[in-house]
Structure 1
Amino acid sequence: MTALADAPAIVPGVYDIPEADYHRDPVPGRSLSSSGARKLLPPSCPARFRWEQLNPPGPKKTFEIGSAAHKLVLGAGPDLVLVDKARWDDKETKAEVADIRARGGIPLKRTEWDMVHGMAAALRRHTDARTLLSPDRGDPEQTLLWPDRETGVWRRALLDHLPHNTSRRMVIADYKTTTSANKAAITKAIFNYGYHIQLDWYRDGIASLGIDGDPAMCLVFQEKEPPYLVNIVQLDRESLQLGRELNRRAIDLYAACAATDTWPGYSNKITLIETPPWAATALYEESM
């Protein structure tokens, strides 16, 4: 792995850089991430993507909890700081929390602190999850940088865990926190949040950089409430192929928008809205 500061220039490869630097985009002239690709596509649009690219959103508690769990599970990430006060709305505590965030840390309430530590302990008791994310098996939070073969667009990915090369097929695990890890909830989350798009993005980066030509991909879901249950899933070929097609569409769209600095919104025409079946059904049931 290469530290970005040690590289003479940005070249395709694996880099070990802080998460904040990754999100600021380490590539001169900008690169496209999986989250950016998903933001370009419906139900979002290029205009929304561009606004958030130029105006990065501030910290959200949900994301901070996920990052805190990642830190304890993977062993890499921002510092976690316990702010052990009953209320956070007084002037002194607000200033303390703001200072922690300004230094790149994550402030946590006592209940949140106990929760993420409980999650990490539960995951370590899960044999398969512990093995997939073990620091003995690979390196946490590694950045991949590579150019798209068709458009030349630079792409980037931040892997939760990049396994060491062995004679066996590489297995990439991505860790997700969730409210429910049962199969139905996971299936809905995968397609609502575009995790099939994300996994293909990672898979293409690994293959493009010659790390492994055909890595296996899986998602490690963990609930955020006791007993912090874990469920590990793989996607079928159809799901990954759909992700690949959507990635291709997003990259081509990004290249076209960037070439002209034109970032369209949802539509430039008047859109006809048709009555969805569920609305008609609800009206019918109310009239009975």
Structure 2
Amino acid sequence: MTTTAEPLDAPAIVPGVYDIPAEVYHADPVPGGSLSSSGARKLLPPSCPARFKWERDNPPPPKKVFEVGTAAHKLVLGTGPELVLVDKARWDTDETKAKVAEIRARGAVPLKRSDWDHVHGMAAALRRHPIASALFAPERGQAEQALLWQDRATGVWRRALLDHLPHPTSGRMVVADYKSTTSSSPATARKTVFNYGYHCQGGWYLDGVEALGLARDPAFVLVMQEKEPPYLITVVQLDHESIQLGRELNRRAIDTYARCVETGHWPGYSDQIELITPPAWAASTHHEEYM
């Protein structure tokens, strides 16, 4: 089902698909709090619950480095913040700083001429790609749909913001997520998936799709596109083993979140003295230089 933003103000939230602004989603629309995929990853090493809670209570301002990715999402998905070209050679003048600050304050994304050209080039390249263009075709589904559901084991509310939610079909549902990156080569793509926890994201999104009865046995793919010409694209599908590994990590994060909420204790990296041993490279260097 699809609802509007109004029911989110009601005392009782019901599981479902919501068409709400991204800023409402990221502010957490569930009274009492919910857990997203990115939040779940923040609960686990190399992060910790204490850092998760701090960042939840003190949300950092948007990082400028992410604005190009946000702009690319806007042009690829057809939804998102307004993009504004600030065609100035220098952004360090008082006049330009004030203009950029005003643009960001109203929720829009300011772009330098080079970034403006890049994101439009990326969108054009994606539209020429036979698979990527089909995955995000407007007639195939709806862009940026929020899923809200409860974890059966703990009662924790979970949420996900899908780049594109396909309409139901007789075939297997393929959930696609768009990522801008420095390299989309297949060898690099595999490292990127596990370095950034995209296998956890895949398991999280598929959990939501299945929990809401939107599809059985859906697949998860990443459309990875480089931010420099010729804006190369690789579409990768996460296999069952990858998704299962992500789901196991997600379960650990959900259980950790539930325990922290119940006890009010959000531990840091460690509550005990940690014994440090030399890494292999340090021991090897020592023996080569002094032995």
2:185 corresponds to 1:175: no
Deviation at 1:115, TM superposition (A): 0.4
Distance 1:283 1:231, change over 3 A: farther
Work out which of the residue numbers 132, 135, 138 in structure 2 matches 1:132: 135
Deviation at 1:280, TM superposition (A): 2.7
Q: Unpaired segments of 5 or more residues in structure 1? A: none
1:75-114 → structure 2 map (5 Å cutoff): 75-114=78-117
Deviation at 1:286, TM superposition (A): 5.1
| Aligned twin of 2:280 | 277
| Aligned twin of 1:164 | 167
1:219-258 → structure 2 map (5 Å cutoff): 219-258=222-261
2:69 corresponds to 1:66: yes
**C-alpha deviations, 1:227-257, integer Å up to 9, x for none?**
0000001122221111011000000000000
Q: Unpaired segments of 5 or more residues in structure 2? A: none
What amino acid maps onto 2:218 in structure 1?
Answer: P
| Aligned twin of 1:147 | 150
TM-score normalised by length of structure 1: 0.97
**Higher mean displacement: 9-18 or 156-165:** 9-18
Q: Name segments (4+ residues, structure 1) moved above 3 Å.
A: 6-9, 281-288
1:179-190 → structure 2 map (5 Å cutoff): 179-190=182-193
What amino acid maps onto 2:49 in structure 1?
Answer: P
| Aligned twin of 1:49 | 52
What amino acid maps onto 1:22 in structure 2?
Answer: Y
**C-alpha deviations, 1:166-219, integer Å up to 9, x for none?**
111100011001000112211111111100000000000000000012101111
| Aligned twin of 1:5 | 6
Equivalent residues of 2:37, 2:200 under 8 A apart? yes
What amino acid maps onto 1:275 in structure 2?
Answer: P
Deviation at 1:282, TM superposition (A): 3.8
Deviation at 1:12, TM superposition (A): 0.3
**Higher mean displacement: 83-92 or 21-30:** 83-92
1: CA distance, partners of 2:148 / 2:132: 26
TM-score normalised by length of structure 2: 0.96
| Aligned twin of 2:18 | 15
Deviation at 1:94, TM superposition (A): 1.2
1: CA distance, partners of 2:260 / 2:135: 38
| Aligned twin of 2:123 | 120
Instruction: Give me the identity figure in percent.
Output: 69
Distance 1:266 1:95, change over 3 A: same
